[in-house]
Structure 1
Amino acid sequence: MKKRGIGIGSIFYGTGYGNGFPDVSKAVAQLKSDGKIAIYVGATEVGQGAKTALSQIAAEVLGLSVDDIVFINEDTSITPDSGTAAASRQTYNTGNAIKLACEKLKRDILEVAKDYLGLNSIVGLTLKNGYVYPKTLPEKRVSLGEISESLESSLKEEAVFTAQTTEMDEETGQGAPYWPYTFSACGVEVEVDTETGRVEIIRAVLAQDVGRAINPELIEGQIDGGFAMGAGYALYEDLKIEKGKIKNNSFTNYLIPTSLDMPDIEKVIIEDPESTAPYGAKGIGEPVMIPVAPAILNAIYDAVGVRMTEIPVTPEKLLKAIKEKEMTYNEGKN
C-alpha cells in the first residue's frame, strides 16, 4: 500500500564564521589600461556562482556591464585573502569588500576625470557605460580608457570588510554570534510504499530569504542543488562506518539522488534587503539545504505515523520501523 504525507521544515541560519572568530574579506579594484575594471579577491568558486554575483556587485557600483569586469581569484600570489567559501559568507563578506573597494576607485576615477574635463568639482559627475560626464552636459565626456592612458600608473584601491560577530558568553549562553541571519522554509509531499519502505518525493516548495536577489537565476539553481543535497541527506547517502572504516566508499553503494529522484520544486524568493549587505544581498549556500531533511521526515511521519530519528531513512530502516509499529499496535489490541 502507498500512503502520502505532507511535512514542513523551517530554519534560521547565521551566516559567516560566527562566535567572535575573525571574519574578514579583502578586495582590490583596479582600472586597467583598456578601461576595464579588474577585481582581485581570494574568493573560491565552488559552483555557487560567486564569480558572477561578485562581478555584478562591482559592475553596479561602477555603472558598467559584467563584461567590463575582469574577475581575478583563486591565485594567492596576486589576490588578497577573502576568507573561505564556507558558512554562506562570500556574497555578504567579500561582496561588501568589493563594493567598498569599487566605491573608493570610483571616487579616484571621478577626481581624474574632473581634471581631464577641466571641471572644478566632481559634484554631478556620472560614471556610466565606461564614460564619465556631467549630468547636465553628457556630451562633455571622457572614457575610462582615456583616463587610464592619461595616468603614469594605474588607479588601484583596496578595501577590507569585517563581519559583526561576538563570542558567546560561556556562563549565560548569550551573545550575538552571527550577523546577518537568513531564513528558509521547505514543504514536501511524499509517497511511502509500506510494502517496500521506499519513499518518493512527489512535490516540493522551498522559500528562501535572500535579502536582495542579485541574480534570481543563480538563486533558483542554489535551491535546486540544496534540495537535492537535503534529499540525499535524508533518504540516500549512508557512509556505513563499521569499526572506523567506510563501507560505502564508492558511488556503486553510496547512493545520491539523481534527476529521476527530484520533484519539480516550487521556488519562492523572499526579498527583505539587509541594510549592512552589498545592495541588501545575503548568502544562501547552506540555508537552502537545511530545512529539506526535517520536512521529509515530517512528511514520512504524516504518511505512516512513524517518527524516524536516524538518517538516511533507507527502505530497510523504514520498513523495520513500520513493522515494529504494527506489532506494537497488534499487541496492544490483544
Structure 2
Amino acid sequence: MKPSAKPETFLLAMALLCTLLGLGLRSQALLLIVIDLFLSGMQNSASGYSLSCEVCVGDRPSCRGKLQTCAPDEDSCIVVVTETNRKASLVVTSYKGCAKSSQYESGFFGITMNPENYMGSKRRCCQKDGCNQDPLPAFVRNHTENGLRCPSCIAAFMETCTATAEALCVGEETHCVAVSGLVRPASDKLAVQGCGTKTACHTKPGTLVPSGSRLFTIKKTSSFRRNLTENGLQCPSCSTFLKETCTPTEETFCLGEETRCVTMTGLRHPADVKFASQGCAMENACHIKPGTLVPSGSHLLTINKISCLPSPQASGKAE
C-alpha cells in the first residue's frame, strides 16, 4: 500500500489544537491559525506524498548515492545485489532506487545456464524514506550440485531459445525455468533457460536485475519439473572435435521427452574447431536451423547440421 503524506505538520497542528482546546483557548485568531494547519495536514494526507530513496549503481556489493524523490506511483525503495558469471567472468553489481511494490518482493533470485553462465540476485524492499541506505548482507552462492539437470540455452535478441545442452543445478535451484526480458539501456531482447530457485519461478514482470553496466528487466518467467525417468529409448552416443563425424562406442539412456536420436555437427568458437556429437534429444532440437549459435561453457557453438531419427519405442512422458 502506498504510504500517506508526510504527517509532521498534521500531527503538530493536531497536538496544538487538542492542547489549546483543553486549556480553554481565548484567542480566536490563534485558534483559526491552528485549525488552518490542521486542515492543511488533512489535505496533504489525503493527496499523498512522494517517497525518497537512495539511488545508485555500483560494480561492488554496495553503492552510495543521493536521496531522490520517487515518482508518485513508486511506493517502495529497493536495494539489489547481483552476482553474474558470464563466460567465466564474475561481476558483482549493486543497485538502489525507487520501485513499485507490485513488481518487487524481498528475497533471492537465482538461475544457472551452465557452470560458467549463471546469475544470482538478492533484493530487499522497504517503504520508508531512505530505508534502502543500508547494504545487504554478503552474497553467498551454494555451488554444491543437487542432482537436478535442466535444459539450457541463452539467446540474445530473441524472446525464446531452444535448449541444446543441460545445466547441472546447484544449491536451492530446484526448478527448471525459462526467463525472457529486455536488457537496458538498449532494450535488447534476451531469453534463457536453465536451473532456477523457487523464487525465480514467481518473479514478477518488471523486476529489475542489475548485471554490470546493464539492467535486465524481466518480462516473463515460467517453470517446469524435468522428467528424469528413463523412457525406454537408447541412442548411439559419441562426441569428438576436429572432425565432422563421430563413431558411437556406447548407448545412452534417454529421459522424459527425449524421444529422438540426434546427430549434430558444427564449429566451436573462437578457434572455429569442428565438432560432432550423437545422443538423445527432444523434438525441438531436431528443428534447430543451421547457423544457430549455442553457448556452451566458455565457448560458442555454431550448428551446421542436425539430423534426427524417430523413436517409436520411447514411452516416457513429461511430468
Alignment TM-score, normalising by the size of structure 2? 0.23
Q: TM-score, normalised by structure 1?
A: 0.23
> Whose strand proportion is higher, 1 or 2?
2
Higher RCO (C-alpha under 8 Å, 6+ residues apart): 1
Larger CA Rg, structure 1 vs 2: 2
More helix by share: 1
